[in-house]
Structure 1
Amino acid sequence: MSMPFNAATAAYGQAQNLISQAGKSQPTPVDTQAAGPNFGELVSQNLQSVVEAGKVSDQTSLDMINGKANVVDAVTAISQTEVAIESMVAVRDRVISAYEEIMRMPI
Protein backbone atom coordinates (compact mmCIF):
# COMPACT_ATOMS: atom_id res chain seq x y z
CA MET A 1 0.00 0.00 0.00
CA SER A 2 1.51 3.28 -1.08
CA MET A 3 0.28 6.60 0.30
CA PRO A 4 1.64 9.93 -0.89
CA PHE A 5 3.53 11.81 1.80
CA ASN A 6 1.34 14.90 1.37
CA ALA A 7 -1.75 12.80 2.14
CA ALA A 8 -0.14 11.62 5.36
CA THR A 9 0.79 15.19 6.24
CA ALA A 10 -2.78 16.31 5.59
CA ALA A 11 -4.10 13.51 7.82
CA TYR A 12 -1.79 14.59 10.65
CA GLY A 13 -2.95 18.17 10.19
CA GLN A 14 -6.59 17.13 10.43
CA ALA A 15 -5.86 15.10 13.54
CA GLN A 16 -4.11 18.12 15.07
CA ASN A 17 -7.19 20.27 14.35
CA LEU A 18 -9.45 17.69 16.01
CA ILE A 19 -7.18 17.61 19.04
CA SER A 20 -7.19 21.39 19.41
CA GLN A 21 -10.97 21.55 18.99
CA ALA A 22 -11.51 18.77 21.55
CA GLY A 23 -9.37 20.58 24.09
CA LYS A 24 -11.34 23.81 23.73
CA SER A 25 -14.84 22.33 23.98
CA GLN A 26 -14.39 20.51 27.30
CA PRO A 27 -16.52 21.84 30.18
CA THR A 28 -14.74 22.57 33.43
CA PRO A 29 -15.84 20.58 36.48
CA VAL A 30 -17.43 22.44 39.40
CA ASP A 31 -14.96 21.14 41.99
CA THR A 32 -11.63 20.71 40.19
CA GLN A 33 -9.81 19.23 43.22
CA ALA A 34 -12.34 16.40 43.74
CA ALA A 35 -12.91 15.74 40.03
CA GLY A 36 -9.48 14.25 39.26
CA PRO A 37 -7.93 14.34 35.81
CA ASN A 38 -10.11 15.51 32.93
CA PHE A 39 -10.86 12.56 30.64
CA GLY A 40 -11.02 14.79 27.57
CA GLU A 41 -7.56 16.16 28.29
CA LEU A 42 -6.16 12.66 28.78
CA VAL A 43 -7.60 11.52 25.45
CA SER A 44 -6.34 14.67 23.76
CA GLN A 45 -2.82 14.16 25.14
CA ASN A 46 -2.76 10.51 24.07
CA LEU A 47 -4.02 11.38 20.61
CA GLN A 48 -1.34 14.04 20.36
CA SER A 49 1.32 11.45 21.24
CA VAL A 50 -0.01 9.17 18.48
CA VAL A 51 0.23 12.04 15.98
CA GLU A 52 3.76 12.87 17.11
CA ALA A 53 4.81 9.20 16.84
CA GLY A 54 3.44 9.17 13.29
CA LYS A 55 5.38 12.29 12.40
CA VAL A 56 8.60 10.80 13.78
CA SER A 57 7.94 7.59 11.87
CA ASP A 58 7.37 9.47 8.61
CA GLN A 59 10.49 11.59 9.08
CA THR A 60 12.61 8.54 9.89
CA SER A 61 11.27 6.76 6.81
CA LEU A 62 12.12 9.76 4.65
CA ASP A 63 15.58 9.92 6.21
CA MET A 64 16.07 6.23 5.45
CA ILE A 65 15.04 6.76 1.83
CA ASN A 66 17.53 9.64 1.58
CA GLY A 67 20.29 7.56 3.19
CA LYS A 68 20.40 9.54 6.45
CA ALA A 69 18.98 6.79 8.72
CA ASN A 70 19.35 3.04 8.89
CA VAL A 71 16.63 0.41 8.54
CA VAL A 72 16.61 -0.43 12.25
CA ASP A 73 15.72 3.16 13.18
CA ALA A 74 12.90 3.22 10.64
CA VAL A 75 11.47 -0.12 11.75
CA THR A 76 11.66 0.94 15.40
CA ALA A 77 9.85 4.22 14.70
CA ILE A 78 7.16 2.47 12.68
CA SER A 79 6.70 -0.14 15.43
CA GLN A 80 6.34 2.57 18.08
CA THR A 81 3.70 4.27 15.96
CA GLU A 82 1.87 1.00 15.46
CA VAL A 83 1.82 0.32 19.21
CA ALA A 84 0.55 3.83 19.90
CA ILE A 85 -2.25 3.47 17.34
CA GLU A 86 -3.23 0.02 18.65
CA SER A 87 -3.37 1.41 22.19
CA MET A 88 -5.55 4.31 21.11
CA VAL A 89 -7.90 1.96 19.23
CA ALA A 90 -8.15 -0.25 22.32
CA VAL A 91 -9.09 2.75 24.46
CA ARG A 92 -11.65 3.83 21.87
CA ASP A 93 -13.18 0.36 21.83
CA ARG A 94 -13.43 0.31 25.63
CA VAL A 95 -15.06 3.75 25.71
CA ILE A 96 -17.60 2.68 23.09
CA SER A 97 -18.29 -0.54 25.00
CA ALA A 98 -18.81 1.39 28.23
CA TYR A 99 -21.13 3.84 26.47
CA GLU A 100 -23.19 1.00 25.00
CA GLU A 101 -23.44 -0.64 28.41
CA ILE A 102 -24.61 2.61 30.00
CA MET A 103 -27.21 3.03 27.27
CA ARG A 104 -28.60 -0.45 28.05
CA MET A 105 -29.13 0.44 31.72
CA PRO A 106 -32.72 1.00 32.76
CA ILE A 107 -33.60 4.49 33.88
Structure 2
Amino acid sequence: MDPAGIRAYQQQMLEAAGQAAGTPKVEETAGAQFTELVQGALEATNTSLAQAEQLTASAATGQAELVDVVTAVAAAEVQLETVMAVRDQVIRAYNEILRMPI
Protein backbone atom coordinates (compact mmCIF):
# COMPACT_ATOMS: atom_id res chain seq x y z
CA MET A 1 0.00 0.00 0.00
CA ASP A 2 1.63 3.27 -1.16
CA PRO A 3 0.64 6.14 1.18
CA ALA A 4 1.71 8.83 -1.31
CA GLY A 5 -0.49 7.33 -4.03
CA ILE A 6 -3.41 7.02 -1.65
CA ARG A 7 -3.04 10.66 -0.58
CA ALA A 8 -2.91 11.77 -4.23
CA TYR A 9 -6.08 9.80 -4.99
CA GLN A 10 -7.83 11.24 -1.94
CA GLN A 11 -6.80 14.77 -2.93
CA GLN A 12 -8.30 14.27 -6.39
CA MET A 13 -11.53 12.95 -4.87
CA LEU A 14 -11.70 15.90 -2.46
CA GLU A 15 -11.12 18.36 -5.30
CA ALA A 16 -13.81 16.69 -7.40
CA ALA A 17 -16.23 16.76 -4.46
CA GLY A 18 -15.36 20.41 -3.83
CA GLN A 19 -16.02 21.32 -7.45
CA ALA A 20 -19.37 19.55 -7.32
CA ALA A 21 -20.22 21.28 -4.04
CA GLY A 22 -19.09 24.65 -5.45
CA THR A 23 -22.03 24.83 -7.87
CA PRO A 24 -24.78 27.28 -6.95
CA LYS A 25 -27.43 25.78 -4.66
CA VAL A 26 -31.07 26.67 -5.04
CA GLU A 27 -32.07 24.43 -2.15
CA GLU A 28 -30.48 21.73 -0.02
CA THR A 29 -30.74 18.53 -2.04
CA ALA A 30 -29.93 14.90 -1.45
CA GLY A 31 -27.08 15.21 -3.96
CA ALA A 32 -25.44 17.95 -1.93
CA GLN A 33 -25.87 15.97 1.26
CA PHE A 34 -24.29 12.94 -0.40
CA THR A 35 -21.37 15.09 -1.57
CA GLU A 36 -20.84 16.35 1.97
CA LEU A 37 -21.03 12.78 3.28
CA VAL A 38 -18.43 11.56 0.80
CA GLN A 39 -16.19 14.55 1.44
CA GLY A 40 -16.39 13.96 5.20
CA ALA A 41 -15.53 10.28 4.73
CA LEU A 42 -12.53 11.19 2.58
CA GLU A 43 -11.30 13.68 5.14
CA ALA A 44 -11.70 11.15 7.96
CA THR A 45 -9.85 8.54 5.91
CA ASN A 46 -7.08 10.99 5.11
CA THR A 47 -6.73 11.85 8.81
CA SER A 48 -6.65 8.17 9.73
CA LEU A 49 -3.99 7.43 7.11
CA ALA A 50 -1.87 10.36 8.28
CA GLN A 51 -2.14 9.18 11.89
CA ALA A 52 -1.13 5.63 10.90
CA GLU A 53 1.80 6.97 8.92
CA GLN A 54 2.89 9.15 11.85
CA LEU A 55 2.65 6.21 14.28
CA THR A 56 4.66 4.06 11.88
CA ALA A 57 7.41 6.67 11.79
CA SER A 58 7.31 6.93 15.59
CA ALA A 59 7.59 3.16 15.92
CA ALA A 60 10.62 3.16 13.66
CA THR A 61 12.36 5.48 16.10
CA GLY A 62 11.14 3.49 19.11
CA GLN A 63 8.68 6.12 20.36
CA ALA A 64 5.45 4.21 19.75
CA GLU A 65 4.14 0.76 20.62
CA LEU A 66 3.79 -1.77 17.82
CA VAL A 67 0.24 -2.59 18.93
CA ASP A 68 -0.80 1.05 18.40
CA VAL A 69 0.76 1.07 14.95
CA VAL A 70 -0.98 -2.14 13.88
CA THR A 71 -4.32 -0.89 15.21
CA ALA A 72 -4.00 2.47 13.42
CA VAL A 73 -2.96 0.88 10.14
CA ALA A 74 -5.81 -1.63 10.30
CA ALA A 75 -8.34 1.13 11.02
CA ALA A 76 -7.00 3.22 8.14
CA GLU A 77 -7.16 0.23 5.82
CA VAL A 78 -10.79 -0.48 6.75
CA GLN A 79 -11.75 3.15 6.15
CA LEU A 80 -9.96 3.21 2.80
CA GLU A 81 -11.64 -0.02 1.69
CA THR A 82 -15.02 1.44 2.67
CA VAL A 83 -14.42 4.58 0.62
CA MET A 84 -13.30 2.48 -2.35
CA ALA A 85 -16.40 0.27 -2.06
CA VAL A 86 -18.67 3.33 -2.07
CA ARG A 87 -16.78 4.70 -5.08
CA ASP A 88 -17.22 1.40 -6.93
CA GLN A 89 -20.96 1.35 -6.21
CA VAL A 90 -21.36 4.94 -7.41
CA ILE A 91 -19.53 4.09 -10.64
CA ARG A 92 -21.71 1.00 -11.13
CA ALA A 93 -24.87 3.02 -10.59
CA TYR A 94 -23.67 5.70 -13.02
CA ASN A 95 -22.91 3.07 -15.65
CA GLU A 96 -26.38 1.55 -15.21
CA ILE A 97 -27.95 4.96 -15.66
CA LEU A 98 -25.98 5.44 -18.87
CA ARG A 99 -27.31 2.12 -20.19
CA MET A 100 -30.96 3.06 -19.60
CA PRO A 101 -32.97 3.66 -22.75
CA ILE A 102 -34.25 7.18 -23.19
Structures share fold, TM-score greater than 0.5:
yes
Instruction: Show the 5 A alignment for 1:51-66.
Output: 51-66=46-61
Identify the match of residue 38 of structure 2 among 40, 43, 50.
43
Alignment correspondent of 2:26: 30
Instruction: Show the 5 A alignment for 1:70-81.
Output: 70-81=65-76
The CA RMSD measured in Å over matched residues stands at 2.4
Contact 2:59 2:65 in 1 (8 A): yes
**How many pairs are equivalent?**
100
TM-score when scaled to structure 2? Answer: 0.80
Alignment correspondent of 1:86: 81
Unaligned runs of 5+ in 2: none
Unaligned runs of 5+ in 1: none
The structure having more radius of gyration, on CA atoms, is 1
Tell me whether 41-50 or 15-24 shows the greater mean CA deviation: 15-24
Contact 1:64 1:71 in 2 (8 A): yes
Partner secondary structure for residue 38 of structure 1: helix
Once the two structures are TM-superposed, the CA of residue 29 in structure 1 deviates from its matched residue by 3.4
The letter of the residue matching 2:26 is V
TM-score when scaled to structure 1? Answer: 0.77
Tell me whether 35-44 or 82-91 shows the greater mean CA deviation: 35-44
Q: Quickly say closer, same or farther: Cα 1:13–1:79, change in 2 above 3 A.
A: same
Q: Whole-Å Cα distance in 1 between the matches of residues 91 and 6 of structure 2?
A: 23
Identity of aligned residues (%): 35
Contact 1:60 1:73 in 2 (8 A): yes
